[in-house]
Amino acid sequence: MNNKLKITFLGGVGEIGKNMTAFEYGDEIIVVDAGLTFPDDELPGIDVVVPDITFLLANKDKVKAFIITHGHEDHIGALPYVLDQINAPVYGTKLTLALVENKLKEFPKTHYKAVAVKPKNVLKIGQFSIEFIKVSHSIAGSLAVCITTPAGNVIHTGDFKIDYEPIDGSMTDLQRFGELGKKGVTLLLCESTNVCRKGFSMSEKSVGRALEQIFEKHPNNRLFVATFASNIYRLQQVLNLAEKFKRKVVFTGRSMINISEIGLKLGELSFNRENIIDIDSINKYADSELLILSTGTQGEPMSALARMAADDFKGIKIGENDLIILSSSPIPGNEKGVYNVINALYQKGAEVIYDELSDVHASGHACQEEIKLIHSLVKPKFFMPIHGEYRHLRMHKQLAMSLGMEERNILLPSLGMQVEVSQNGIKKTGFVTAGRRLVDGLGIGDTESNVLRERKQLSEDGFCVVIVNINNVSGSVNGDPLIITRGVVYNDEAEAFVQAAKDTIVASLKEQDLRGAEPAVIKNMLRRNVSNFIFKRTKRRPMVVAIVVLS
């Protein structure tokens, strides 16, 4: 057997989100994480973006397991689209698997085997030995993994931070990282999300203290807290404060309701059910007796908070006595949507507190000093930064070099890159097909899709429909052409524009002998002539649809 481990990067490098890495030894592959990301303005109408798994499909018989480090969407969100085509068991903590199960309820035809693991468990899969290591993050049940093969061992940190005051009382297992470092680590794959931030990340308990001060200062306001539904540690602190300040809690947003139930069932959340009320009951209580827990921290248009800001949420109308706490920070790319919601809430008369104004959010990702500590404990022979845009990966490389690592022992990964790892070195061996697959309702396409191109054209230049009735025998035009435009001309120009377009169409048709002509030929001519007319008139190129009726 070739005594080398092959690593293929299918997501999460050179980008934020859709994390997915394949580890191949001999005839066996294990995949760490299967995440998604959310579309930007360049992807109109797209629901989510998932990794291109062409490589995995070509090797589907080799895939033995999906190892999930934690339950965030950028680590589990692609599973419904992967498990539908690749039958392999999924390993993760109980909470992670519960979130996967909840997600897959929307995909009832997907069958898979789920296997729960805990920190310190060691899993044997063929030539792979996988050890799970406890790490702190903004969701319970987060793990790092140490993957051992005859080619050496690789530590994959997953997403982590070093919180010295963890809500669950269990810190990132620095001792185990140190023990593995003493034994010798061949390769470290370490997350890079916050590598540009100096110092240490803020403790989750610091957020609790900041929230408590806000509760104390606003005893008469109706309080709203918007946070990530998956941040169970944050939910627990807010629920504890609600009990302390004798406020009834209303869960709003489907994911908030679902995850609170999952957390309670698994023992990750603890609260008195009698303190939870239905949204229909809020009119029975004074503002000072209410706390509303909401989704919508990223400005998502259909989230609970965004709908409240738009007066489109049944049972809740935002007013001047409302204090809204956004216990989060915008994910890069979401800033505009978040600030639109904040502005709308202010316009309703509410007061809004967010991360720029108070310490109401703590990142779940390690900052520079925490990353340095992991490097110092693990002391890897070789290093590859992961989970970040190129600027993050480059900064992480520089940080590793500042700690004494030689540049020749560091490799920056990119999408599709394959790397061979042995005890003696790491080297790039080539690239496989990788990138983005776009989920659009029930369809999945790529960025070169004609559907996406047409949507962009429609959104930028509008469309024009031309309907012409032609006598099939004489070739003459029956009546005036019908022209319908949307997003092409302004109202005050529309009448003159349409008349000029009709004149152009009739004149161009008179120049042709249309007797017995194929409709497709006439359509192409119409599209070309109308497109040229519109461009000369407006300097825009809308989508032109030509319909020819033969009579």
Q: What is the DSSP string of 462-518?
A: -EEEEEEEE-TTT--B-SPPEEEEESSS-HHHHHHHHHHHHHHHHHHHHTS--TT--
Tokens of 280: 């229909």
Residue 408 per-residue DSSP state: G
In the prediction, which pLDDT does 548 show? 86
In the prediction, which pLDDT does 391 show? 96
Q: What is the pLDDT along the chain (551 residues), one digit of tens a residue?
A: 467 999 999 999 999 899 999 999 999 999 999 999 877 666 656 677 899 999 999 999 999 999 999 999 999 999 999 999 999 999 999 999 999 999 998 887 788 999 999 999 999 999 999 999 999 999 999 999 999 999 999 999 999 999 999 988 899 999 999 999 999 999 999 999 999 999 999 999 999 999 999 999 999 999 999 998 889 999 999 999 999 999 999 999 888 999 999 999 999 999 998 999 999 999 999 999 999 999 887 877 778 899 999 999 988 999 999 999 999 887 766 788 889 999 999 999 999 998 877 888 889 999 999 999 999 999 999 999 999 999 999 999 999 999 999 999 999 999 999 999 998 899 999 999 998 887 766 556 665 566 667 777 777 788 889 998 888 777 777 888 888 888 888 888 888 888 888 888 888 877 777 776 778 888 888 888 889 998 888 888 888 989 888 87
CATH topology of domain 462-550: Ubiquitin-like (UB roll) (3.10.20)
Question: Which helix (DSSP H) or strand (DSSP E) does residue 460 occupy?
Answer: helix 450-461
CA distance 297 to 226: 6
CA distance 273 to 250: 11
389 CB-side CA count, 13 A: 6
Q: Coil, helix or strand for 441?
A: coil
Question: Which helix (DSSP H) or strand (DSSP E) does residue 440 occupy?
Answer: strand 436-440
CATH topology of domain 5-199+363-445: Metallo-beta-lactamase; Chain A (3.60.15)
CA distance 222 to 283: 12
How many helices (H) and strands (E) the chain has is answered by 15, 25
Backbone angles phi, psi at 412, to 5 degrees: -90, 120
Q: Is 37:8 a contact under the CB 8 Å cutoff?
A: no
Residues carrying CATH 3.40.50.10710, the chain? 204-353
Q: Is 238:212 a contact under the CB 8 Å cutoff?
A: no
Residue 329, CA distances (Å) to 175, 338, 353, 407, 496 in order: 31, 9, 11, 34, 50
CA distance 110 to 30: 20
Alpha-helix runs per DSSP H in 304-433: 304-309, 335-347, 368-378, 390-402
Q: Can you give the length of the chain in residues?
A: 551
CA distance 442 to 436: 16
In the prediction, which pLDDT does 44 show? 58
Q: Coil, helix or strand for 344?
A: helix
CA distance 161 to 136: 5
In the prediction, which pLDDT does 508 show? 81
In the prediction, which pLDDT does 445 show? 61
Alpha-helix runs per DSSP H in 156-291: 174-183, 204-217, 232-244, 254-266
Task: State the maximum Cα–Cα separation within the chain, in Å, rounded to a whole number.
Answer: 91
Tokens of 152: 């050496």
- The pairing of strands 443-445 and 436-440 is antiparallel
Q: Is 239:251 a contact under the CB 8 Å cutoff?
A: no
Q: Is 32:21 a contact under the CB 8 Å cutoff?
A: yes
CATH topology of domain 204-353: Rossmann fold (3.40.50)
Residues carrying CATH 3.60.15.10, the chain? 5-199+363-445
| Closest to 526 in 3D by CA, of 538, 537, 512 | 512
**DSSP string spanning 43-108?**
STT--EEEE--HHHHHTTTTEEEEE----SHHHHTTHHHHHTT----EEE-HHHHHHHHHHHTT-T
CA distance 264 to 136: 20
Residues carrying CATH 3.10.20.580, the chain? 462-550
In the prediction, which pLDDT does 40 show? 65
Q: Which single residue is written with the structure tokens 């269990």?
A: 170
CA distance 118 to 131: 9
Residue 258 per-residue DSSP state: H
Identify residue 211 by its one-letter amino acid code.
L
59 CB-side CA count, 13 A: 20
Question: Which helix (DSSP H) or strand (DSSP E) does residue 135 occupy?
Answer: none
Q: What's the whole-model pTM score? A: 0.83
Q: Which single residue is written with the structure tokens 């709003």?
A: 252
Provide the Cα torsion 196, 197, 201, 206; round to 10°: -140
